[in-house]
Structure 1
Amino acid sequence: MTALTTDGLAAPLGHAGQDHRPRARKRFSLARTLKFLAMLFFLLVVLIPVYVLIVTSFKGVGDASPARAWSLPQLWTTENWQAAWTALSPAIFRTLQMVIPAALISSFLGSMNGFVLARWRFPGADLVFTLILFGMFIPYQAVMIPLLQLVLGSGLPSGIPSLIVLHVIYGIPITTLIFRNYYMSVPNELIEAARVDGAGMIRTYFSVVLPISVPSFVVVLIWQFTSAWNDFLFAVFFSSSQNGPVTLALNNLANGALLQNYGVSMAGALLASLPTLLVYILLGRYFIGGLMSGSVKG
């Protein structure tokens, strides 16, 4: 049986001659409510540690203790932030000197590799691409001792110079993969038009391909910036507290005193994570768009 709706269309009726749409709307509303509650639950799980970090960073020495981790500060103070900034600011500036060139160089090299492997095929291109990707799956711990001997034997200064070179090298596989996938989606007509105009591989890359690579550059720059900023393993092996990045300085700040100052440690953790947080807040939407830009061909 059917019934006419307000817009003149026929709607199916149940056995009792009633419309099924209210029941469908109810199920749809229930499903949306359950999804919302699930998302709210996971959001709270993520934000609970952030809440503890923030409130503890504003507590005094006697107030910051595990027993009062969930409580608001009895007296709000910024001394922890001042102490953390004094201890970490040199390492933060050293880390900026490391991550910016490392991210830029590895992104540019990955862009050139991705273009060659995607558009200028040569014998053994697939094998070369596979070997490059193989570098993504080798655990850093497995090669750390021979890598340390290689760096020491090369005479490369410890600290920021060594870390820049290492992050550039170990960033090439992921940047190559992202750029190759993106360049595979570039229309063939664009490359062929450049060839017809007499442009070679280098001219085509710099004049045609590079200007349209902004979405992928945003993705790899954010990825490389975050990876290099948060790295701790390379920092331990190839730098010291005097010339190392902020992750090493933060570890020394948390473990350097006999009496643990939780407030300073929490403030230091927030300061150390602030640059990457700002990067994602300012460029997060471009990051998602860049990831999706190479997912559809044509």
Structure 2
Amino acid sequence: MKQFHRVVIYSVLVLFAVYFLLPLIVMLFSSFKDLGEIRSGNLIMPPESPTIEPWIKAWGEACTGLNCDGVKSYFINSFLITVPAVFLASAIGAINGYILAKWRFRGSEVFFAFMLLGCFIPFQAVLLPMAQTLGFLGLANSLPGLILVHTIYGVPFTTLFYRNYYVGIPTELISAAKLDGAGFFQTFYKIVLPISTPIIIVTVIWEFTNIWNDFLFGVIYSGPTSQPITVALNNLVNTSTGVKEYNVDMAAAMIAALPTIIVYIVSGKYFLRGLVAGAVKG
């Protein structure tokens, strides 16, 4: 009976996994088909004569509005935005979490509560104030402006992650470092940071995915030369110069999705481990 229950459970899990992955499978298969096979074939069937032409065209030849140079430059823009924003938001969040967990001050809990409000403020509520701020700083329609926006919006989340993780670190460890003469940053770099790998992985995955997949901030605060891949993908899908090339659209969508997929594959096993760290005290 126990074996039967296990078979049923795994069968249901496999069924849900296939159902969840079906859109990705359709995208992947369609990106390697020519238009004739897409029109006449079954979407969920693998390509009969695989071709990489849709990928080549999506990368360097497809039209995204008036520009027909593919998504290459936008893909690079997304990296130029995402990598610095992830680093800055994670670094600031780590310091904030360290202070709020182990170097508490009068009113620190109130400060933390107000910072958490940033996790629940919808994007639409900050569009106009952020636009005014970027204009005042001279960063409107630029890559540094988008980096600043994503860093600011990411800090509340990263602070929450790091603070909850650092609460689980024994306070005696920090006290011992203080007795040995270690200061604030020395304790952080020599003791706390080396044992923070799980939560760093969680934060990087979370921030990378959110920033890379963002469309709203990208379409509003970017200029013609600073648009991220999500904006280019939208422009590509909505641009028509004759026959609609669904295979090129699917290839572009796969190109846009590849970095986040790779991040999850490489470091996904640490995600859940770090996410629940600090959830139970003891």
Is TM-score (shorter-chain normalized) higher than 0.5? Answer: yes
Aligned partner (choices 204, 224, 229) of residue 187 of structure 2: 204
* Residue-by-residue CA offset, 1:46-65 (whole Å, 9 max, x unaligned): 12212211121112233334
**Residues 70 and 121 from structure 1, CA distance in 2 versus in 1: closer, same or farther, beyond 3 angstroms?**
closer
Give the residue type in structure 2 aligned to 1:296. Answer: V
After superposition, what is the alpha-carbon deviation per residue over 1:205-261, rounded to whole angstroms, capped at 9, x for unaligned? Answer: 222212222221111111111111110010010113432111111111111124321
Larger of the two Rg values belongs to structure? 1
Asked if 2 retains the 8 angstrom alpha-carbon contact of 1:171 and 1:224, the reply is: yes
Superposition pairs for residues 35-184 of structure 1, below 5 Å?
Answer: 35-65=9-39, 68-86=42-60, 87-184=70-167
Letter in 2 for 1:156: L
* Alpha carbons of structure 1 residues 94 and 206: separation in structure 2 relative to 1, 3 Å: same
Task: Name the structure 1 match of 2:67.
Answer: none
Partner amino acid, structure 2, of 1:77: T
Aligned mates of 1:209, 1:105 — CA distance in 2: 18
2:260 aligns with: 276
Task: Kindly indicate whether the alpha-carbon contact (under 8 Å) linking 1:241 and 1:252 is maintained by their aligned counterparts in 2.
Answer: no
Which structure 2 residue ranges, 5 or more long, are not aligned?
Answer: 61-69
Checking the alignment, whether the CA contact within 8 Å between 1:133 and 1:173 is kept in structure 2 is yes
- What does the per-residue CA deviation read over 1:108-144, in whole Å, with 9 as the maximum and x for residues that have no partner? 1000000111111111101100111000101101221
RMSD: 1.7
2:230 maps to 1:247: yes
SS at match of 1:69: coil
Structure 1 residue 44, shift from structure 2 partner: 1.6
Kindly state the Cα deviation for residue 185 of structure 1 after the two structures are TM-superposed.
Answer: 0.5
Runs of 4+ in 1 over 4 A off after TM superposition: none
Q: Give deviations 1:151-208, integer Å, cap 9, x for gaps.
A: 2232114231111001111110110011001110111111110111122323222222
Superposed CA deviations along residues 70-123 of structure 1, whole A, max 9, x for unmatched, are 344453221101011111111111111111111111101000000111111111
Change in Cα spacing, 1:209 to 1:72, as seen in structure 2 (3 Å) is closer
Structure 1 residue ranges without an equivalent (≥5): 1-25
Give the share of equivalent positions with the same residue, in percent.
Answer: 42
Does structure 1 retain, via aligned residues, the 8 Å contact 2:97–2:162?
A: yes
